[in-house]
Structure 1
Amino acid sequence: MTQSHRDLLRRMFDAAVAAAQPAQCVPAYLPAVPKGRLIVIGAGKASAAMARAVEDNWAGEVSGLVVTRYGYNVPCRRITIAEAAHPVPDAAGLNAARKMLDLVSDLTADDLVLCLISGGGSALAPLPLDGLTLEDKQDVNRALLKSGATISEMNCVRRHLSAIKGGRLAAACHPARVVTLLISDVPGDNPMNIASGPTVADPTTCTDAMAIIRRYGIVVSDKVLDVLESGRGESVKPGDPRLALTETHVIAAPQVALEAAAKVAESAGFTAHILGDSIEGEAKDVGAVMAGIAHQVTKRGQPFKPPCVLLSGGEATVTVRGQGRGGPNVEFLLALAVALNGQPGIHAIAGDTDGVDGMEDIAGAIITPNTLSRAWVMGIKPQDSLAANDAHRFFHALGDSVVTGPTLTNVNDFRAILIADKDSTP
Structure 2
Amino acid sequence: MTTTPDRRALLRSMFDAAIAAAQPARCLPPHLPQPPKGRTIVIGAGKASAEMARAFEQHWSGPVEGLVVTRYGYEVPCERIEIVQAAHPVPDAAGLQATERIRALVSGLTEDDLVIALISGGGSALLVGPAPGLTLQDKQAVNKALLASGASISEMNCVRRHLSAVKGGRLAAACHPARVLTLLISDVPGDNPMDIASGPTVGDPTTRADALAIVDRYRIEVPAAVREWLAREESESVKPDDPRLQRCETRIVTAPQIALEAAAAVAREAGVTPYILGDSLEGEARDVGKVLAGIARQVAVHGQPFQTPCVLLTGGETTVTLRGQGRGGRNVECLLSMAVALDGLPGVHALAGDTDGVDGAEEIAGAVCTPDTLARAWAQGINPRKSLDDNDGHGFFQALGDSVVTGPTLTNVNDFRAIVIDAPARG
Same fold (TM over 0.5): yes
* Equivalent residue number for residue 338 of structure 2: 336
The one-letter code of the counterpart of 1:27 is: P
Alignment of 1:244-323 (within 5 A): 244-323=246-325
Q: Distance between the aligned counterparts of 1:57 and 1:189, measured in 2?
A: 25
* Equivalent residue number for residue 123 of structure 2: 121
The partner residue of 1:397 within 392, 396, 399 is: 399
Can you list the C-alpha shifts for 1:256-297, whole angstroms capped at 9, x where unaligned?
Answer: 000000000110010000000000000000000001100110
The partner residue of 1:146 within 145, 148, 151 is: 148
After superposition, the Cα gap between the structure-2 partners of 1:299 and 1:422, relative to the gap in structure 1 and judged at 3 Å, is: closer
**Residues matched between the structures, number:** 424
Can you list the C-alpha shifts for 1:147-189, whole angstroms capped at 9, x where unaligned?
Answer: 0110000000000000000000000000000000000000000
Does structure 2 retain, via aligned residues, the 8 Å contact 1:287–1:335?
A: yes
* Equivalent residue number for residue 209 of structure 2: 207
Can you list the C-alpha shifts for 1:119-162, whole angstroms capped at 9, x where unaligned?
Answer: 00000011101110000000000000000110000000000000
Deviation at 1:229, TM superposition (A): 1.8
Deviation at 1:2, TM superposition (A): 5.5
The partner residue of 2:390 within 370, 382, 388 is: 388
Can you list the C-alpha shifts for 1:384-425, whole angstroms capped at 9, x where unaligned?
Answer: 00011111100010010001110000000000000012499x
Does structure 2 retain, via aligned residues, the 8 Å contact 1:166–1:196?
A: yes
Does structure 2 retain, via aligned residues, the 8 Å contact 1:166–1:192?
A: yes
Secondary structure of the structure 1 residue equivalent to 2:190: helix
Q: Distance between the aligned counterparts of 1:383 and 1:358, measured in 2?
A: 20
Q: Distance between the aligned counterparts of 2:405 and 2:94, measured in 1?
A: 26
* Equivalent residue number for residue 232 of structure 2: 230
The one-letter code of the counterpart of 2:136 is: L
Q: Distance between the aligned counterparts of 1:362 and 1:319, measured in 2?
A: 20
Does structure 1 retain, via aligned residues, the 8 Å contact 2:151–2:218?
A: yes
Deviation at 1:359, TM superposition (A): 1.3
* Equivalent residue number for residue 376 of structure 1: 378
Range that drifts further, 169-178 or 225-234: 225-234
Alignment of 1:18-29 (within 5 A): 18-29=20-31
Alignment of 1:351-366 (within 5 A): 351-366=353-368
Q: Distance between the aligned counterparts of 2:31 and 2:8, measured in 1?
A: 36
Does structure 1 retain, via aligned residues, the 8 Å contact 2:299–2:424?
A: no
Secondary structure of the structure 1 residue equivalent to 2:282: strand
Deviation at 1:3, TM superposition (A): 6.9
Q: Distance between the aligned counterparts of 1:183 and 1:327, measured in 2?
A: 21
The partner residue of 1:172 within 171, 174, 183 is: 174
Q: Distance between the aligned counterparts of 2:251 and 2:165, measured in 1?
A: 23
The one-letter code of the counterpart of 1:62 is: V
Q: Distance between the aligned counterparts of 2:94 and 2:40, measured in 1?
A: 24
Q: Distance between the aligned counterparts of 1:219 and 1:235, measured in 2?
A: 22
Q: Distance between the aligned counterparts of 2:303 and 2:139, measured in 1?
A: 50
* Equivalent residue number for residue 56 of structure 2: 54
Deviation at 1:4, TM superposition (A): 1.6
Q: Distance between the aligned counterparts of 1:186 and 1:148, measured in 2?
A: 16
The one-letter code of the counterpart of 2:283 is: G
Structure 1 unaligned residues grouped into runs of 5+: none
Can you list the C-alpha shifts for 1:189-243, whole angstroms capped at 9, x where unaligned?
Answer: 0000000000000000110000000011110111000111223311001210000
The partner residue of 2:188 within 168, 172, 186 is: 186
Which consecutive aligned stretches of 4+ in structure 1 deviate over 2 angstroms post-superposition?
Answer: 421-424
Can you list the C-alpha shifts for 1:28-49, whole angstroms capped at 9, x where unaligned?
Answer: 0001110101000000000000
The one-letter code of the counterpart of 2:288 is: V
Secondary structure of the structure 2 residue equivalent to 1:242: helix
The partner residue of 1:220 within 219, 222, 236 is: 222
Does structure 2 retain, via aligned residues, the 8 Å contact 1:320–1:326?
A: no
Q: Distance between the aligned counterparts of 2:387 and 2:36, measured in 1?
A: 56
* Equivalent residue number for residue 11 of structure 2: 9
The one-letter code of the counterpart of 1:282 is: E
The one-letter code of the counterpart of 1:64 is: G
* Equivalent residue number for residue 112 of structure 1: 114
Does structure 2 retain, via aligned residues, the 8 Å contact 1:47–1:116?
A: yes
Q: Distance between the aligned counterparts of 2:118 and 2:223, measured in 1?
A: 32
The one-letter code of the counterpart of 1:188 is: G
Secondary structure of the structure 1 residue equivalent to 2:274: strand
Q: Distance between the aligned counterparts of 1:231 and 1:144, measured in 2?
A: 23
Secondary structure of the structure 2 residue equivalent to 1:316: coil
Structure 2 unaligned residues grouped into runs of 5+: none
Does structure 1 retain, via aligned residues, the 8 Å contact 2:301–2:425?
A: no
Does structure 1 retain, via aligned residues, the 8 Å contact 2:303–2:424?
A: no
Q: Distance between the aligned counterparts of 1:327 and 1:281, measured in 2?
A: 14
Q: Distance between the aligned counterparts of 2:317 and 2:336, measured in 1?
A: 16
